[in-house]
Chains A and B, each alone.
Chain A
Amino acid sequence: MTVINNRGVSAIESAFERGKILIPYLVAGFPDEKSSLECMKAAFNAGADMLEIGVPFSDPIADGAVIQHAQDRALRNGMTLRKTLRLAADLAADQKKTVSKPLILMCYYNPILHFGIERFVDSALESGVDGVIVPDLVPDEAELLIESARKKNFATVFLAAPNSSEKRLRLISKSSSGFIYALGLEGVTGERDKMSDKLSTFVENIRSIDKSENKKAHRVGIGFGVSKPEHFKMLSAIADGVIVGSAVVRRAESSPQAVREFIEELRR
C-alpha cells in the first residue's frame, strides 16, 4: 500500500509543490519507440516536472496537424496502449534512480474502454503512471473511470474549456483529481502565435468555482496553443502548471537533444 500512497494523485500533487511546473507532452512511439523514450528522459533531465505521454490513436479528433502526424507515425511503428504502458514502466524505472516525477497518460477513450477500465487503472499504476487525461471523455460519461480511479488514488484529469458553463465547471471540478486542465483555446492542439488575453479571467473563474466545490482546491494546469518561452512565462503567472504539446513533439522528430534544448529554453 505504501507504494500506492505516494503514487497517483499524491505524486501529482507533490509535483505541484515545487512551484510553477512545466509539463511537456510527448507521443509514445514517435519518432520511434526507442527515441521516444530518449526524448522523455531528456525532457525530465532538462527540468520537466511531470510528463504527459500521448497514446497514439487512429482517430485523434482533438489534435491538430503536428500531433496527428506523430500519432499516425507511432501507430505505424506498432505503438499501442499496452506498449505505451511498458514504455512508461521503463521510464519510471529509470527515474527512480534519481527523483520520481509523475507520469500521466493522454489517451482517447476507445483504447481504454477496449482494454477494460479497471484493468487499465491497475496496469497504469503498476507501470508507474499516476493519472490519465481522456480528451474525448467528459465527466458526464466517465462514471466508471472515476469510480475505478478513486479506489486506487489514480488521477482523472478533466479538461475545462473557455466556453464551459458554470454548471459544467462545477462538474469538472468535482470529477477531477490531480489537477484541472484548463484549455488555452477553443480548438484543437497546435502551436499558436498568440495566446488569448482572457485566460487570466478564465483560470480565476475555475479557481473560484473550484474553491466553492472542494475543501481542498485543485491545482490548475493550462495547455493547448503554447509555442514559445513568452507563453510559458505568461501562463505560469496565471496557472500552476503549463502543458506544452505540439512544440515539444515537433522537436522530438529531430532529436532528444532538440527536446532538451527547447525545455531548457522554456525554463530559462
Chain B
Amino acid sequence: MTRFGRYGGIYVPETLMVPIEELTEAFEYFRANPLFQKELNELLSTYAGRPTPITFVPTFSDKVQAKVYLKREDLLHTGAHKLNNSLGQALLAKRMGKRRLIAETGAGQHGVATATAAARLGMECVVYMGTTDMKRQAHNVVRMRLLGAEVRPVSAGSRTLKDAINEALRDWVSNLASTHYCLGSALGPHPYPTMVREFQRVIGDEAKIQFREMTGRLPDTVVACVGGGSNAIGIFTAFLNDSVKLIGVEAGGRGTGRGEHAARFMFDSDPLNHIGVLHGTETFLLQDEDGNILPTYSVSAGLDYPAVGPEHAFLFETKRASYSSISDDLAISAFKMLTQTEGIMPALESSHAIAYVIREMKGSNEFILINCSGRGDKDLSIVEDWMKGHGEL
C-alpha cells in the first residue's frame, strides 16, 4: 500500500525507484525485527530521554477554563520530537550499509536531530537549508556544524524548506550507493510518510498510557501543529480508533493572500484545485493556476511549507481529523502566555497548537492534550524582534 485513500504514491525520477524499493524492503524487515527494535528503544530511552512526560498546566488551564496537558517532546534530547525519526532512520540506514546521511531542514530541528544521530552512530551528515531559514534559525546552524555536519545553503526559489527538499532529492539521486536521505517529515514518496509515522508514533503511544494513568481517562481532544505533519501524525496515530477529537493547526502567517501563509486546508473553492503532486507525493498543496507551487510564509520556519503529509490529507477528507490555522501574532502571544504562566517555553511551531486552544477551546472545560513538539530556545531572536516591534522591549 503506497497510498492513504487517493493521497500519497511515488512520484519520483526513475533513478530513485530501485533505492526506494530497497528502502521499503529494509523498513518492512526491520520494523518487525526484535533486535532492531531493541537497539532503537535503547537509544530512545538511554540517549534521547524517552519516555517524555506529560505535564498538567494548572494556571494555563484556569485561564482557558479547560484541563490542559502537554506531551513534552520539548524535553527530548536536541529539543524536539525530530530525534525519534532521525535515530530510527539513521539506524536503518546503517543496517542498509549506508555511511552518509543527508537531510533537509526548515527550523533546523530536523537538521540538528539528524546531525546528532550521525554523530552518535559515526556517519557523515550533510544538511540542506534555505538561506532565509539559516538567517532566522542561526543558532541551529551553529549547532549542526558543531555536531560535525556540513550545512549547505540553498538559495533557490523561496529559500526555505521546500527548496531544501529539492536540493536533498538532487543529492540523493546523485549519491545513491553511499547515501540515505533522512527525510524529516511525514511526506515525500512512499515509504517515507508511513516510515516517519511509525518512528514518531511513540509520542501518541506513550501519551495515551500516561494520560490514562494521570486522569483515568482519554483526552477529549488532541491538538498538534502541522507543517509536513510528523509530530501531529505521531501523536494522532494512537488515538485514531478512539472517540477523541483530533485537530491539526497550520500556519496562518500574516494574512489569507497568496504567499502570506502555509494553510493548505484553508480554501473555499473546489478541493480538487488544491490537490497536486510535490516532492513525490499526491496531497493538498498551495499552487497557482498553472500548477506551480506557491511561496509560503510563516513566522515559524518549521511550518513554512506548501504541501501537507498525505495521511493528513486522508484524515481531512475522511473528516477523522479537522484542521485550522493560527496567525503569527496569535502564535507569539501563546508562546508568551505559556512561558509566563507555566515556565515552559514552546517552539513557535508548537505555539500554534497552544494558540488554537486559547482561541477555540476557551471555556470548553474539556480534557485537552497538546503536543508540545519542541522547545522555544531556537526562536528567541524572532520573539525578541517581535516584542521590540510591538514596543514590549
A interface residues, Cβ below 8 angstroms from B: 57-62, 64, 68, 72, 75, 80-82, 109-115, 135-138, 140-141, 158-165, 168, 172, 183, 186-188
Whole-angstrom distance from the CB of B7 to the nearest CB of chain A? Answer: 13
Residues of B within 8 A of A61 (CB): 13, 166, 169-170, 279
Do the beta carbons of A112 and B292 come within 8 Å of each other? no
Do the beta carbons of B11 and A186 come within 8 Å of each other? no
Do the beta carbons of A163 and B292 come within 8 Å of each other? no
Residues of A within 8 A of B280 (CB): 136
B interface residues, Cβ below 8 angstroms from A: 9-15, 17-19, 21, 156-157, 162-163, 166, 169-170, 173-174, 176, 273, 276-280, 287, 289-293
Residues of A within 8 A of B176 (CB): 163, 186
A-B contact pairs, 5 of them (CB 8 A): A57-B291, A81-B291, A111-B290, A158-B14, A186-B15
Known interface pairs A59-B157, A80-B292, A186-B15; 17 further A-B residue pairs with C-beta atoms within 8 A, sorted by A's residue number: A61-B166, A62-B170, A75-B292, A81-B291, A82-B290, A111-B290, A112-B291, A114-B290, A115-B291, A136-B11, A137-B11, A140-B17, A158-B14, A161-B18, A163-B176, A168-B14, A187-B170
The 8 Å CB contact of B291, one of A110, A141, A160, A183, is A110
Most buried by A among B19, B176, B277: B277
Q: Taking CB as reference atom, which chain B residue is nearest A169?
A: B14
Count of inter-chain pairs, beta carbons less than 8 A: 110
Whole-angstrom distance from the CB of A133 to the nearest CB of chain B? Answer: 11
Do the beta carbons of A141 and B15 come within 8 Å of each other? no
Do the beta carbons of A161 and B17 come within 8 Å of each other? yes
- Please report the C-alpha to C-alpha distance between residue A75 and residue B174 in the assembled complex, in whole angstroms: 26
Do the beta carbons of B14 and A159 come within 8 Å of each other? yes
- Please report the C-alpha to C-alpha distance between residue A135 and residue B280 in the assembled complex, in whole angstroms: 11
Do the beta carbons of A113 and B276 come within 8 Å of each other? yes
Residues of A within 8 A of B18 (CB): 161, 163-165, 168
Whole-angstrom distance from the CB of B152 to the nearest CB of chain A? Answer: 13
Do the beta carbons of A186 and B162 come within 8 Å of each other? no
- Please report the C-alpha to C-alpha distance between residue A158 and residue B14 in the assembled complex, in whole angstroms: 9
Most buried by A among B156, B176, B291, B293: B291
Residues of A within 8 A of B21 (CB): 165
Residues of B within 8 A of A64 (CB): 170
Residues of B within 8 A of A114 (CB): 273, 276, 287, 289-291
The 8 Å CB contact of A58, one of B15, B19, B293, is B293
Contact A188-B14, Cβ < 8 Å, known A109-B277, A110-B277, A111-B292: no
Whole-angstrom distance from the CB of A172 to the nearest CB of chain B? Answer: 7
- Please report the C-alpha to C-alpha distance between residue A114 and residue B18 in the assembled complex, in whole angstroms: 28
Do the beta carbons of B17 and A113 come within 8 Å of each other? no
The 8 Å CB contact of B9, one of A62, A141, A172, is A141
Do the beta carbons of B291 and A111 come within 8 Å of each other? yes
Whole-angstrom distance from the CB of A72 to the nearest CB of chain B? Answer: 7
Do the beta carbons of A136 and B173 come within 8 Å of each other? no
- Please report the C-alpha to C-alpha distance between residue A61 and residue B162 in the assembled complex, in whole angstroms: 11
- Please report the C-alpha to C-alpha distance between residue A61 and residue B164 in the assembled complex, in whole angstroms: 11
Residues of A within 8 A of B12 (CB): 136, 138
Do the beta carbons of A163 and B169 come within 8 Å of each other? no
Do the beta carbons of B287 and A110 come within 8 Å of each other? yes
- Please report the C-alpha to C-alpha distance between residue A62 and residue B12 in the assembled complex, in whole angstroms: 9
Whole-angstrom distance from the CB of A180 to the nearest CB of chain B? Answer: 11
Contact A136-B166, Cβ < 8 Å, known A59-B157, A80-B290, A115-B291: no
Do the beta carbons of A138 and B170 come within 8 Å of each other? no
- Please report the C-alpha to C-alpha distance between residue A58 and residue B278 in the assembled complex, in whole angstroms: 10
- Please report the C-alpha to C-alpha distance between residue A110 and residue B293 in the assembled complex, in whole angstroms: 9
Do the beta carbons of B166 and A59 come within 8 Å of each other? yes
- Please report the C-alpha to C-alpha distance between residue A187 and residue B169 in the assembled complex, in whole angstroms: 10
Do the beta carbons of B276 and A161 come within 8 Å of each other? no
Residues of A within 8 A of B276 (CB): 110, 113-114
Do the beta carbons of A81 and B290 come within 8 Å of each other? yes
- Please report the C-alpha to C-alpha distance between residue A172 and residue B14 in the assembled complex, in whole angstroms: 10
Do the beta carbons of A164 and B17 come within 8 Å of each other? yes
Do the beta carbons of A160 and B14 come within 8 Å of each other? yes
Most buried by B among A113, A162, A172: A113
